[in-house]
Structure 1
Amino acid sequence: MQLIDIGANLTHESFRPDFDQVLARARQAGVAQMVVTGASAAGSRMALSIARAHPGELFATAGVHPHHAVDYDDATDALLRELALADEVRAVGETGLDYHRNYSPQTAQIEAFERQLAIAADCGKPLFLHQRDAHDDFMAVMRAFEGRLGNVVVHCFTGTRNEMVDYLDAGWHIGITGWLCDERRGTHLRELVRDIPADRLMIETDSPYLLPRTVTPKPSHRRNEPMYLKHIVEELARDRGEDVDVTAANATATATAFFNL
């Protein structure tokens, strides 16, 4: 089984003490390649640096998460445009809207989102998107760029059936995380994932966040890491009624094509 983790926050400080061991455990669990998420100006620069240090194994995205949208300025835009030209950067993002916490004002989120969509339209690279509790505005912003964008993945999907249908009808991809394994808030996903076409479905850990709650034994530090992608794909395969090797192979093929790996 060869897996691709399309969303791992490997720039997070929790990975600094044992980064090499994290990668080794991922390899042992069959995770052959990982896309390191860029979620801020500094984080995107670091994601590219890490990817360059591990050619062929790690790749990067470059973007500003809606939580940090209030910090988006002309210098940030120029930096992201520069980073997006790097071969190791395979998508623009993480960008989008998050009205669940509103760490940045909604107007700032929309502006930062639009500016990053413009970068993707100009450079032709895929989009790595975030949406939480902001579906209507999210779709409105995306519609304004209709016909100008390439491939799109809505990562860490946690939404409703109607949201999923909107994304699929738009021709976008969906990323599934260990949220699937959360009996408190993710049980609805177990039914929804059956209806995602194999060529639109990708898998991710979003580590160090969202440690699958069904992992046993649980690590004492409760940190998620790419090695647990194998657990996620096993749960996903069960919910889709597929052999795990089929689910894994399809997700890997889809990610390979999407990110041009």
Structure 2
Amino acid sequence: MALRLVDIGANLAHDSFDPDRATVLREAREAGVERIVITGSSVDSSLAAAKLAAEAPGFLYATAGMHPHHASDYDDAAHATFSNLASDGSVVAVGECGLDYFRNFSPREAQRDAFARQLDIAIETGLPVFLHERDAHDDYVEILKPRLAKISRAVAHCFTGTEQQLRTYIDMGLYIGITGWICDERRGSHLKEIVHLVPPDRLMLETDAPYLLPRSLRPKPKSRRNEPKYLPEVLHTVAEACGKSAESIAARTRQNACRFFGLGEDSG
């Protein structure tokens, strides 16, 4: 029997899923993924995520926010849209928001402003925050840390950083999201060595589909598209790295996700 899992971050509003989204969702359920949080990363994708979630209550949920790549588009109208979505029953977190200095698709000042304004929405609404950070650790901490006391909960989505950064985020009280990055023998080997440092009650799993297909997956899909049904590959890699059973990691991460996002009672 498949282990019961929650995928806390899947970009199911992505157009690569348009031809076969229903099949993707069915196969996710068959793989044991019983809840999926659909990531909003722009105004359009957040609206689409909320719509998808409203069509499958109890299975699909949404976040609403703007990825730092799109921060140049963050204006008063976008802010109002995200504020309104935050009161939608299908939306369970603000984000994906944060800073990304790896590619600087938006100017850094625009990224910092959009990040701070979205944190304000989280403070005003009491929703948790779904965070993104890449190559921007110091500015990210500088903006986030003073506000954390007023934010209900926050997760470092798709953590790929160093041991010191992980320790900093743990000390700040953040939850940690682990993706298929940990399955990459080239880029993710360091994650295997440090994931055990995450407190058991703050660890969560995610695919970031359609991105980050686990490189350890066999056989690899011809499309190279990641899907929620591949979350068990992340689970087993994390369990092995932590020296724990897959059953225990599945149960703990599922319970953590239900508590973090307010997804209702977990039945065990």
| Aligned residue number for residue 257 of structure 1 | 259
Work out the number of aligned pairs and report it.
261
| Aligned residue number for residue 111 of structure 1 | 113
Contact 2:9 2:209 in 1 (8 A): yes
Sequence identity (%) = 52
1:137-152 map, 5 Å? 137-152=139-154
| Aligned residue number for residue 97 of structure 2 | 95
| Aligned residue number for residue 181 of structure 1 | 183
Shift, 1:146, TM fit: 3.6
| Aligned residue number for residue 195 of structure 1 | 197
Letter in 2 for 1:169: D
- In 2: Cα distance, 1:145 partner to 1:129 partner: 13
- In 2: Cα distance, 1:106 partner to 1:146 partner: 21
* CA deviation profile, 1:155-180 (whole Å, cap 9, x unmatched): 00000011111111011100000000
1:27-66 map, 5 Å? 27-66=29-68
| Aligned residue number for residue 18 of structure 1 | 20
Letter in 1 for 2:83: R
Shift, 1:143, TM fit: 2.3
Letter in 1 for 2:113: E
Letter in 2 for 1:191: E
- In 2: Cα distance, 1:237 partner to 1:144 partner: 33
* CA deviation profile, 1:191-227 (whole Å, cap 9, x unmatched): 1111111100000000000000000000000000000
1:77-88 map, 5 Å? 77-88=79-90
Letter in 1 for 2:138: D
- In 1: Cα distance, 2:187 partner to 2:221 partner: 21
Q: Determine if the alignment matches structure 1 residue 132 to structure 2 residue 138.
A: no
Q: Determine if the alignment matches structure 1 residue 230 to structure 2 residue 237.
A: no
**What is the aligned-residue RMSD (CA, Å)?**
0.6
Within the candidate set 207, 210, 215, 2:212 is matched to 210
- In 1: Cα distance, 2:54 partner to 2:132 partner: 25
TM-score (norm 2): 0.97
* CA deviation profile, 1:36-83 (whole Å, cap 9, x unmatched): 000000110000000001111000000000000000000000000000
Letter in 1 for 2:82: L
- In 1: Cα distance, 2:19 partner to 2:68 partner: 28
- In 1: Cα distance, 2:237 partner to 2:55 partner: 32
- Stretches (4+) displaced over 3 A: none
Unaligned runs of 5+ in 2: 264-268
- In 2: Cα distance, 1:195 partner to 1:145 partner: 24
Letter in 2 for 1:171: G
